Every structure is written in C-alpha cells, then in structure tokens.
Amino acid sequence: MRSQAALSIRSAYTVGSFSLDAQLDVGVETVALIGPNGSGKSTLLLATLGIRTPTQGRITLGNHVVFDSEAEIDCPTEERRMAYLPQDFGLFPFLTAVGNIEFAIACAGTGIGRRQRQERAMAYLEQFGIVRLAGRHPHQLSGGERQRVALARAIASEPRALLLDEPTASLDVGARAEVRALLRESLEHLQIPTLIVTHDEGDITALARRVAVMEAGRIVGCASAEEAARHPANAFADRLLNGVRPDPSVAVR
Amino acid sequence: MRPTHRRQTMAFRLGMAFLAALLGTLLVLPFVALLLDGGPLSILRGFECALTLPALRLSMETTAIAVVVVVLGGTPLAWWLARSKWRSARWLETLLQLPVVIPPAVGGIALLLAFGRRGLFGGWLERTGFSPSFSTVAVVMAQIFVSAPFYLQAAVLAFGRLNQDLLAVGRSLGASPPRLFFRLVLPLAKPALIGGAAMSWARALGEFGATLMFAGNMTGKTQTLPLAIYTALEIDIRTAQALSLLLVAFAFVLLLALRRINQQPTRSERTVTAP
C-alpha cells in the first residue's frame, strides 16, 4: 500500500487528560477518518498539518520527513505542502473568490506577476465551473459555491496531500451531493494522499477507498470501506457504516 | 393584571425613567451650553484669537506623528503580546495599560523624571545633543504615552480573536510568516486596528495634563488645542468655547466614522470582475 507519495503518520500527543497515539498510512488514495466527537480526529489532522506539535512521532510525506521527534525535525506548516480544508471552508472574507485563489498561487510560487497570477486563478475557477463567481466575496456565495472556491484554492497551492475536515457537513442536502461529485472528480484527477474526517456515510461511499476508525485517541481499525462495514471496529463505526439508527448522544450531522 | 402589580410596574417605570433622565440631562446639557451660550456670532469671533491657528496646527501635526508612531510600534508589540505564552507578557500587558488609569499629571511627572534634563535618562540624552523636555518632541512623547494603550488594547484583542482555522489554512497554503502577517492577519484585524488607532488619536488630541507638565505651554511650540483652551479661559471665554467646539466637532466626526466602519462587513479594497 505504501507508495512513493504516501503519507505516513505516527503521532503521539497529550494535552491534559486527552492523549492521542495514532498510526495511519495513507497511500495515493482517499482514507476516511471516522469516530465519535472528541476521539481525536481533528487533533490528528492538525498534528499532521503541523499546527499542533506531537510530543512523539514521525510524519513522512513521500520522501520528505516533515516531523520526527527523535531527529528533532519539525517542518513548519507552510513548508509541508499539505492543503487543509476546515469544515467552514476557511475562505478569507476580505478577498473575492479569485483573490482567495490568487493568495494560494502567490504562496506556491514567488515572482509571478500580478497579471499572470490573476490569469492562473481564473483558469482554476474555469476548471471548477465558477468563473461567474470570480468577483464575489465569500459572504455572497452559497455553501456549495464556497466549497468549490475553497477546493480550487487548495488545489492551486499545488499540495502533495489533502486534509479535509467534514467537507460536506455545513452544506444542505442538495449541495452535498453536488460537492461530493466534484470532490470525487477532483481527487481522482489529483492522485495524492487524502484524509477526510467525516461523520457522513455518504462521503465514505462516494469518496473513500478505506476507512480508519478512531476511538479515544487511537486508531482501532483500518480497512476497505466494505470490510469496515462488514466487521466494524467499534459500535460507532457499526452505526455510521451500517446505517443503524444514529445514537443521539453522538453528533452525526 | 392585579392592581398591585400594575402599581409596582408604574413605580418601576417612573423610577427608572427619573434616574435615566437625571444622568442624561447632566451629560447632554453641557454640550447644549457649549453650542448655544453667547450666540453663534460671539463664538465665531472667538476663533479670531491669535492662539487658535498655531494651536490647531500644532495639534494636527503632533497627533498625526503620535498616531503613526503608536501604530508602527504598537502593531508588532500587540502581535507579540497576543501570541506570547510567557507569563511576563501578561505582566507587560497590564503595565502597558497603566497610562489609561493613572492621572495624566502623573504621566507628565513620570516622563519628566525619565527624560527631563535632570531625569534618569535625561543626562544621557543631553550628551547625545537631544533634550526633549519643553519642546514639540515632548508634546508628541506625552501624546504617545497616554494614547498608545488604547491602540494596544484594541490590537491585542483583535489579534487574540483571529479565527485560528483561517490562519491554519493560510499556512497550509504555503504562506510564509511575513506573508501570513501582511496578507492575512492585518486584513482580518483591519477594522479593529483602525478603530483602535482612531481612539488613540482622540486621546492624543485631548491630551492635557502630561503635556503641561512635560512640555509646557508655549504658543506655537508646545501649546496644543487643550492647552490653548486653558490659556484662553483667562483671556476670553468665547475663544475657549470656540476651541472647545472645534474639539467636540472632531470627536463627533470620529465617532460617526467609527460607527460606519463597525457596521461595514469586511470587504476587500479591490474587486475583480469576471471577464
């Protein structure tokens, strides 16, 4: 499963009474990360990204060691080239759609002229079918449109891995299917390790090849989507993957 | 409704209205008097006093410099204070807020003891050929001293409240620390920073006590508008009134502008339209 471009995460992290100790390998594929709230999914994502610093561990992306506690390697987030999409899309409110994408292009390559940057940004918008939204600000966009812009921006930063936090959770049902289709197409085209934190079975079916199940800071199971449903790693996975009536104490949006 | 309830409600409303009206009157009447007393002609004639123009000019110049210094130095200082996890940073934050609550006269004495000719650092300053006390530089220093906390407080608050997810996204897109600061942090905090700078400017414009102590009251050199009002009071009350109205007008315009800034959603300066 581990190829040249794989993302390999060994991450241990303790804050107060919460402790995370997770191992996960993501090849050139999409892995869904599921688990109840507070099981450490977002922390694992942020540790991989370099926003949180694990106390122990080793994170590699392809041939690059981005974090190694023993060798004291801690590559800053901005040099890891992992694009992060938070649940509320993370668009910069003071920039237009095209301005948001220009931001990513300016980060990816210095010394690009303004004209050229704008042209490239427009090309990304075209690719995602949202040229008409170029001049709009995030607050003038619908949820689905925002996610399109956010995805275009993430891809414009030329990432080597993609980390998505509940990509369809803030969307209404109609936009959800639409964004899922777009994500599916984009991920197939991108061919980079992708980790999706989700509470939505629809995301898993449409996007993920494998499912990793988290519980209390640990990965308790990682298998193909069918296998994970047939032999669920815990009660949460059973409920989510086999569509049993959701437990109201567990937030499944 | 029961009669007792009705009576209680009436009494409650009357009591509240009376107390509110009492304070409201006390706050509003002085402005009414400032605007109307003596009539517009004699107030206008008050502007003709020789103190007016030099004081107005000096106030505009010194406060402009003070605000620029406060923003240039205060922005990085606030950024550090907002992000630092050291306990010393919390102490420093409290210390830097002191000028807001101490009487300005105390600030003046402190400045004099520090940078005056015989002050702690005054001798050292003098050897470098620079003695700020009782000069226009002292006016600016006093204004910076009393007004910086207003900007710092606004900026620390704004930086502390930044959406951490947006910063994480910015970094994940590859923004280096300077790019992140100038292209993301500053635009996100801009409305709050402008508000802080405006409050800071208003405080600098009204600065009186520390200026009087540390810079003196010399027409054209250290006599700002508030000091000119103080001097004019002994010559002609209408001049003092006219200058006061000028300061009220500045403050009023400032408050209106701030309200507009706070009402506006954050927008970019430029909008790119699709071809």
Please provide residue A242's backbone torsions phi and psi, each rounded to the nearest 5 degrees.
Answer: -105, 10
Place of tokens 């949820």: A143
- Considering the domain architecture, whether residues B214 and B88 belong to the same structural domain is answered as yes
Q: What is the pLDDT of residue B265?
A: 52
Q: What is the pLDDT of residue B207?
A: 95
Query: Rounded to a whole number, what is the distance in Å from the CA of B271 to chain A's nearest CA?
Result: 6
Question: Which residue numbers of B have CB closer than 8 Å to A's CBs?
Answer: 165-166, 168-177, 179-180, 183-184, 187-188, 190, 265-268, 270-275
- Considering the domain architecture, whether residues B108 and B180 belong to the same structural domain is answered as yes
- Considering the domain architecture, whether residues B190 and B226 belong to the same structural domain is answered as yes
Q: What is the pLDDT of residue B269?
A: 38
Count of domains forming chain B = 2
What domain range is B24 assigned to?
A: 1-36
Distance, CA of A35 to CA of A237 (rounded, Å): 7
**Residue of B85, B163, B169 best to disrupt the A interface, most CBs of A under 10 A:** B169
End-to-end Cα spacing for chain A: 31
Percent of chain B with pLDDT over 90: 69
Of B147, B253, B128, the closest CA to residue B205 belongs to B147
CA nearest to A163 within chain B: B172
Contact A34, A45 (CB under 8 A): no
End-to-end Cα spacing for chain B: 67
Q: Do B190 and A94 touch (CB under 8 A)?
A: yes
Rg (CA), chain B: 24
- Considering the domain architecture, whether residues B64 and B146 belong to the same structural domain is answered as yes
Q: Is residue B208 part of a domain?
A: yes
Distance, CA of B127 to CA of B92 (rounded, Å): 30
- Considering the domain architecture, whether residues B163 and B246 belong to the same structural domain is answered as yes
Q: Is residue B153 part of a domain?
A: yes
Residues 6+ apart with CB under 8 A from A109: none
Q: Do A78 and B174 touch (CB under 8 A)?
A: yes
- Token pair recorded at residue A135: 């001049």
Tell me the pLDDT tens digit for each residue of A103-120. Answer: 999 998 767 888 999 999
* DSSP 8-state secondary structure symbol assigned to residue B265: P
Q: Is residue B43 part of a domain?
A: no
| pTM of the predicted structure, to 2 decimals | 0.85
Query: Rounded to a whole number, what is the distance in Å from the CA of A92 to chain B's nearest CA?
Result: 7
- Considering the domain architecture, whether residues B22 and B96 belong to the same structural domain is answered as no
Q: Is residue B131 part of a domain?
A: yes
- Considering the domain architecture, whether residues B136 and B207 belong to the same structural domain is answered as yes
Q: Is residue B45 part of a domain?
A: no
- Considering the domain architecture, whether residues B24 and B86 belong to the same structural domain is answered as no
Of B165, B167, B162, B173, the closest CA to residue A87 belongs to B165
Please provide residue B30's backbone torsions phi and psi, each rounded to the nearest 5 degrees.
Answer: -55, -40
- Considering the domain architecture, whether residues B203 and B251 belong to the same structural domain is answered as yes
Q: What is the pLDDT of residue B2?
A: 77
Distance, CA of A139 to CA of A134 (rounded, Å): 13
* One-character DSSP codes across B163-202: -HHHHHHHHHTT--HHHHIIIIIHHHHHHHHHHHHHHHHH
- Considering the domain architecture, whether residues B180 and B226 belong to the same structural domain is answered as yes
* DSSP 8-state secondary structure symbol assigned to residue A92: -
- Binned average pLDDT, 10 residues per bin, chain B of 275 residues: 84 96 96 90 86 93 97 97 88 91 92 88 79 89 96 96 95 95 96 94 95 92 94 90 93 89 55 37
Low-confidence stretches of chain A (pLDDT < 70) are 1-5, 110, 244-253
CA nearest to A48 within chain B: B172
- Considering the domain architecture, whether residues B24 and B136 belong to the same structural domain is answered as no
CATH number at residue B171: 1.10.3720.10
Query: Rounded to a whole number, what is the distance in Å from the CA of B170 to chain A's nearest CA?
Result: 8
**Residue of A45, A61, A89, A103 best to disrupt the B interface, most CBs of B under 10 A:** A103
- Chain B residues whose beta carbon lies within 8 Å of the beta carbon of residue A163: 172
Q: Do B274 and A76 touch (CB under 8 A)?
A: no
Q: What is the pLDDT of residue A1?
A: 42
Q: Is residue B41 part of a domain?
A: no
Distance, CA of B46 to CA of B14 (rounded, Å): 43
- Considering the domain architecture, whether residues B9 and B67 belong to the same structural domain is answered as no
